[in-house]
Amino acid sequence: MKERKIEIMEVCPRDGWQNLPDVIPLEKKKQYIDHMLASGLKYMQICSFVNPKVIPQMADAQEVTRYFLEKYPDRCFNALIPNLRGAQTAVDCGLREVSFVVSASESHNMANVKRTIAQSLAALDEICEKLPQLDVTLSIATSFGCPFEGAVPPEKVLEMVRHGVDIGITKVELADTIGVGDPMQVYELFRAVKERYPQLQLLAHMHDTRNNGVANSFAAALAGADVIHGALGGLGGCPFAPGASGNTATEDLVFLMEKSGFRTGIDFPKLLEAAKEMRAEVPGNYSGHQIMIQSVPTGA
């Protein structure tokens, strides 16, 4: 089998934890993140810099970020930001990478960040101009469907990607924010972006609302995505999709990728141990499978 490489980015500390009703104490956050990183994960979205009144779970985001930047200088940490203020906070904490989130559908962007798409893109322009040292990923939410508007035209997503390319963005994330995409749709949109902009690094963020998260992530990988997002245990949810089980479980992703010949550099048993620990201690919506099967390579 041909060996391919894929990067897995762990997003549980941001996307998994942000919807939990109870705030995880700082020391527990450190423990869970330590155990995630012990599996060999290189990339992690560690927090978002947003209004703590809206998302209290992120009130200690600066502390968490500073702590792990110092402890693991060899890993890549990233924060989700919706505006210039968040980007500035990221820089002040010492982060070099952020993901700027904007939705491909107007109503979701308004519900999520209280701005029109044009206003969000203007903020992105300003961030790139004022903070040129930051490596900014353009994260396009609702790329495969919107909870308010339904289908999202691929042309709309491509138009936003073009805006990013025009201002010098080199990384683009296509997100299935509510988990309504299907593998063919995902494959085709990723291919369309890849064909137009082969130089871009592409990231996939697939929610697992209907058990399609792993299949959609795999379709993105086959279409040429470089980085796939997962959340430990499949923890997550979406305020605009009540009852949704949330993110694609990193352990399920790693298992499938390794079985299919994609090398992730992640130790599956260690990752599963971290998932089991968190599931035992943190109540939430989990979509992952906790089965231990010793049929994938361990370690890098």
Q: Which residue is nearest to Zn ion (CB)?
A: 15
Restricting to residues 11-50, which ones interact with Zn ion according to CB under 5 A? Answer: 15
Rounded Cα–Cα distance for residues 265 and 262 (Å)? 9
Restricting to residues 182-201, which ones interact with Zn ion according to CB under 5 A? Answer: none
Query: Which CB sits closer to Zn ion, 15 or 251?
Result: 15
Q: Does residue 208 bind Zn ion (CB under 5 A)? A: no
Taking the complex as a whole, the smallest distance from the CB of residue 231 to Zn ion amounts, in Å, to 8
Taking the complex as a whole, the smallest distance from the CB of residue 220 to Zn ion amounts, in Å, to 14
Long-range contacts of 254-257 (CB under 8 A, 24+ apart): 254/8, 254/230, 254/296, 255/293, 255/296, 256/214, 256/217, 256/218, 257/6, 257/8, 257/218, 257/221, 257/228
- Amino acid identity, residue 103? S
Q: Does residue 173 bind Zn ion (CB under 5 A)? A: no
Taking the complex as a whole, the smallest distance from the CB of residue 15 to Zn ion amounts, in Å, to 4
Examine the residue annotation and report whether 238 is marked as an active-site residue of this protein: yes
Coil, strand or helix: which one is 245?
A: coil
Taking the complex as a whole, the smallest distance from the CB of residue 207 to Zn ion amounts, in Å, to 6
Query: Which CB sits closer to Zn ion, 235 or 271?
Result: 235
Coil, strand or helix: which one is 190?
A: helix
Candidate segments 10-18, 47-55, 192-200, 250-258, binder of Zn ion by CB under 5 A: 10-18
Instruction: Identify the active-site residue in 47, 128, 146, 238.
Output: 238
Q: Does residue 176 bind Zn ion (CB under 5 A)? A: no
Find the helix or strand (DSSP H, E) in which 105 lies. none
Distances (CA, A) of 285 to 21, 28, 122, 249, 253: 11, 18, 35, 11, 17
Point out which residues bind Zn ion (CB under 5 A).
15
Annotated catalytic sites, by residue?
238
